[in-house]
Amino acid sequence: MAGLGLAEIVIVLVVWVVPAVAFFFLIYWAIRLAIRHEGRRAMSVREPRITDVRDL
């Protein structure tokens, strides 16, 4: 069985490795953004709760 040539290595990189890395960073960015958004939401001033009809 012959070793991989330069063309085969480039094809494998383009078809498998580049999309896999891009997908990983997309998921990483989405999770990081969600965590940051949730942290800001927790620290912000909360809306007053309506506990009774008289509060309306």
pLDDT digits (tens, 9 = 90+) for 40-49: 666 655 556 6
- pLDDT above 60: residue 17: yes
What is the rounded distance in angstroms from the CA atom of residue 32 to the CA atom of residue 34? 5
On whether the CB atoms of residues 18 and 25 are closer than 8 A, the answer is no
Task: Give CA–CA dist 34/10, Å, rounded.
Answer: 35
Domain boundaries, the chain: 9-40
- Distance between CA atoms of 32 and 6, rounded to whole angstroms? 37
Q: How confident is the model at residue 21 (pLDDT cuts 50, 70, 90)?
A: very high
Indicate the pTM of the whole model: 0.55
In this predicted structure, the answer to whether residue 12 has a pLDDT above a threshold of 60 is: yes
